[in-house]
Structure 1
Amino acid sequence: MAPNREQLIAHLLATGMAGTVATPRENNLEHYARMARRDPHYQFGLELGIWTPDTVLDLMVRKAGVDPRLNHRRGQDTIDPELTADALDRYAARFGKALQAKQRVLFATGHPRTLARLYQQLATALTEAGGTVVPLPEGLGYAAENRYGTVRRVQVESFMGVGILADGGAPIHTHSPLPIQLVLSDLAARGAPMPDLVVADHGWCGGAAQAGLDAIGFADCNDPALFAGEDEGTVAVAVPLDDGIAERQYDLLGEYILTRG
């Protein structure tokens, strides 16, 4: 039986996907300040308006339900499960439109070890409904520098229909919008149709939204850019949740999305 809202919220709390989450408050505040300073790593490919650390915190109180106290500087932070459920309803409505209209959807993730399985679940449902999972072009890559200054070539790859960034074949975490920008440029160069919808996160989602595509995504409470993009009308939907827990825990979210849409 498909989960209802009450069961969804209980699952969010039981898994730590919402409620008191693992992300430390000091990490959240540092990232809010970095986004406000327009650090590209925390913009997720979005051309955001003017934000200050305080207005970012206000945004995250509204959008994600983090602790509103200005003097709460260290320790754990929160995600309001009711806000997660509200956002999932909006997410489900947009994905439901893709199912009903048999749209072309591109799936991609900067969190391949945790979120790819959920996107594969949605991609399977789309294919079964007669829609199209946009295939990822092969051979796209670029030289990237890691935090230690080492430059290596990273590659865009398809992981069972979900776009990821890989280093030597191993999936890697990324905030960068470069992968989706390369994919969209390749589609345009080949005269291929653009996706009707991008289901993604991090820079994959932000870069797609900045390019003018419908983009819906998940984001943790230490990643404010997608919420700012939604607030400014660029990102279609941003869902607050802990995006780093065991991949199977997201299965129930997929079931909820597919039955609510």
Structure 2
Amino acid sequence: MNTAALRAHLVGAGLAGVVATTRESSLRSYRLFAARDPRTLIGIDPELAWGQRDLIELMARRCGVSADPRHTVGRDVIDPELTLAALGAFADRLRAVARRGACVLLGTGHPHRLIGFYAALADALSAAGCTVLTPAQGRCVDITTRFGLRTFRLAYVRGVGLVRPAGSERPGCETGAHSHSPLPVRLALEAAADAGGPLPELVIGDHGWVCGAGQLGFEAMGLADTDDPALFVGQAEGRVSVVVPLDDAVRAAYYRPVTRYVLDRACLSQ
């Protein structure tokens, strides 16, 4: 898929352009981040004082959302040109890591939507000679949710880390649970270090997987929606290498052209 075709797909599928994420949701996230609420920091400990207006300006530059703080309702907007540029940088990092046959760690807090995207990357990197790490598989981690403290189990599906409710076999939980927490990646990295390595040269994912790894000094990159300011702050402060702005909750099938584009550009198509 060429760049023009991908741009049309991004806008048509709601991955960029006018997206489903609301301005109200994004502004709420910016307010909570400015107040240093852990629910929106998701593993990043900002060095600078980020007020809500600072975050709006940052997200306008990096995502394309409205820079007008008086714009408070409606659906948010992602500039597809910013998405395309970030996908190019994302693919370039994949290609460089693949050429070295480096160790990588992948994880997602959006398994129902994005497991196919990350699994395809894991398969391609493994075929190129990279070691796809799966540390702490089966280990439990307690995560605070809107329902209180819950115990989850770290699992890997096709090389991609995710969490599942511990002891739960309920239908719909097979793929994994939605999570913003940095605790799973911290658990994985700690287990890898305790075992004497190897450690990942690159962590790929979203939410807490990126922020938690970046805060610990690992190179990390991934995808983020307009209401995920932590990844963009991490990038602005030098702890996240690449952030791709796009809606992270559309139908899983809509990410397949993005996957093909990234793998083609990274010279990892099989």
Instruction: Give the TM interval when normalised to the shorter protein.
Output: over 0.9
Equivalent residue number for residue 13 of structure 2: 15
1:164 CA drift (Å): 0.1
Contact 1:113 1:247 in 2 (8 A): yes
- Equivalences, count: 258
**Partner amino acid, structure 1, of 2:247:** D
Contact 2:143 2:183 in 1 (8 A): no
Matches within 5 A, 1:204-223: 204-223=209-228
* Distance across 2 between alignment mates of 1:119 and 1:173: 15
1:153 to 151, 154, 167: 151
1:5 CA drift (Å): 1.2
Matches within 5 A, 1:18-167: 18-48=16-46, 49-149=48-148, 151-167=149-165
1:131 CA drift (Å): 1.3
Find the residue that maps to 2:155 and give its secondary structure: strand
* Distance across 2 between alignment mates of 1:152 and 1:256: 38
Equivalent residue number for residue 177 of structure 1: 182
* Distance across 1 between alignment mates of 2:243 and 2:126: 24
**Partner amino acid, structure 2, of 1:188:** A
1:86 CA drift (Å): 0.6
Equivalent residue number for residue 241 of structure 1: 246
Find the residue that maps to 2:263 and give its secondary structure: helix
Contact 2:143 2:181 in 1 (8 A): no
**Partner amino acid, structure 1, of 2:4:** E
Gaps of 5+ in 2: none
Q: TM-score, normalised by structure 2?
A: 0.93
Matched, 1:228 2:198: no
Find the residue that maps to 1:115 and give its secondary structure: helix
Segments ≥4 residues shifted beyond 6 Å: none
**Partner amino acid, structure 1, of 2:41:** Q
* Distance across 2 between alignment mates of 1:233 and 1:144: 27
Contact 2:103 2:130 in 1 (8 A): yes
Find the residue that maps to 1:113 and give its secondary structure: helix
Contact 1:136 1:183 in 2 (8 A): yes
1:196 CA drift (Å): 0.9
1:85 CA drift (Å): 0.4
* Distance across 2 between alignment mates of 1:43 and 1:146: 14
1:145 CA drift (Å): 3.6
Q: TM-score, normalised by structure 1?
A: 0.96
1:257 to 244, 259, 262: 262
Find the residue that maps to 1:172 and give its secondary structure: coil
* Distance across 2 between alignment mates of 1:107 and 1:145: 22
| Sequence identity percentage | 41
* Distance across 2 between alignment mates of 1:194 and 1:211: 12
Q: Give me the CA root mean square deviation.
A: 1.1
* Distance across 1 between alignment mates of 2:114 and 2:228: 15
Farther-moved stretch of structure 1 (217-226 vs 166-175) = 166-175
* Distance across 2 between alignment mates of 1:148 and 1:174: 13
* Distance across 1 between alignment mates of 2:102 and 2:143: 33
1:141 CA drift (Å): 1.3
1:251 CA drift (Å): 1.1
Find the residue that maps to 2:26 and give its secondary structure: helix
1:260 CA drift (Å): 1.5
Cα distance per residue 1:19-49 (max 9 Å; x no partner): 0111111111000111111111111201112
**Partner amino acid, structure 1, of 2:159:** G
